[in-house]
Amino acid sequence: MSSLPFLPFTRPSLDEATIAAVGDVLRSGWLTSGPKMQAFEAALSDYCGGRTVRAFNSGTATLEIALRLAGVGAGDEVITTPLTWVATANVILEVGARPVFADIDPATRNIAADKLAAAVTPRTRAIIPVDLAGLPADRDAIYAIAGQHRLRVIEDAAQSLGASWHGKPIGSFGDFVSFSFHANKNLTTGEGGALVLPPDVDPALCERLRLQGVARSPSGDMDVDVLGGKFNLTDIAAVIGLGQLPHLSAFTARRRALARRYFELLDPRLGLALPLADFENSNWHMFQALLPAGADRGAFIAAMKARGIGVGVHYPALHLFSLYRRLGWKEGDFPIAEDVGRRIVTLPLFPAMADGDVDRVCSALSEILERR
């Protein structure tokens, strides 16, 4: 066992000013959605170039509400990737539609444009591309396909806040854009999310769907005209986001520096397949490598843990989960995603890491994989 402190694969960076601001909210007596949530929405809107942004209690909720705002429902199909957190597909089922998967590009590990185009049918209503590990999916190709078939695009940008596409920040352009602020994200509110709205969507309807469909009038009267949920973000969470947002560019820069160090130090003879070395667009939310074919991932994770290093798996191919097998998918349907899902490992990468932590991870990788 290692005598060094345990190095997790991720850890949030929270400064003392943010921690103190949470205390101020607790002392204020206004804990749920209020002035801090409104300020956080305004700050996110500024970041997204003035677009309308609404905050939610999770990135899952933002995807579901985006589908509802896009009019997706029973009998419709939505195309997405099988290599993502299962929430991306679950929300499609939640609104009564059917997920349709398209295999990934082996270099980017995002949805492949040619496979996406081939998956469009007369029932397709929307596309949910996912920016795996913070590397943006090909916006040009995706929006070209969407425009050709008159489809809505709901960008699952849960992992790509701080990333860009040819110089334009993710969230500052496009159709719907969904962010997550889970504890492992580049910007966290503990739990939370935000939805960037296109101009043809009524923000007031989004707000009603966020909170039980309730519409209030100045007289105190209330009406409910749509079926909403309980998806609002608390002021406690929002003030964490307000403390995080000014540091986002610094977080991104540090993540990119750590990723560069991985590329410099990892020995190509180890047989690891490394991610695409994109230092222009990606925010390096995660550093993911593929183990050599035939490697025992469980044994590898255990060996790294014995050396005091945490490793994640993001993600197994979701169409092979029991729920989705019961809906008709099977092994062999999306061979590239399946291969990546069997071999992928997430190595430690977060802003508070020292250069020496990367050195430590690379040394452990060499010991374990050379022994294999």
For the annotated catalytic residues, the residue numbers are: 185
The answer to whether 88 touches 314, Cβ cutoff 8 Å, is no
The answer to whether 87 touches 209, Cβ cutoff 8 Å, is no
Which residue(s) pair with 79 in the sheet? 100, 127
Q: How far apart are CA 179 and CA 337, in angstroms?
A: 23
**Number of other residues whose CB lies within 10 A of the CB of residue 214:** 14
Closest CA to 61 of 240, 314, 234, 233: 233
> Which residue is it, tokens 């970041």?
47
Closest CA to 208 of 178, 228, 193: 228
Q: For residue 152, which phi and psi values (nearest 5 degrees)?
A: -80, 150
Per the document, the length of the chain is 372
For 32, which DSSP code? Answer: S
> Which residue is it, tokens 């939370």?
192
Question: Which run of H or E residues covers position 248?
Answer: helix 248-265
State the angle between helix axes of 297-306 and 355-371 in degrees (0 to 180), rounded to the nearest 10: 130
The string of DSSP letters for 336-366 reads HHHHHHHHEEEEP--TT--HHHHHHHHHHHH
The answer to whether 74 touches 139, Cβ cutoff 8 Å, is no
Q: For residue 202, which phi and psi values (nearest 5 degrees)?
A: -80, 115
Q: Exposed, middle or buried: residue 44 (CB in 10 Å: 0-12, 13-18, 19+)?
A: buried
Q: Which two tokens stand for residue 39?
A: 């300020």
Question: Which run of H or E residues covers position 287?
Answer: strand 287-290
> Which residue is it, tokens 């990892």?
266
Closest CA to 193 of 221, 231, 225, 228: 231
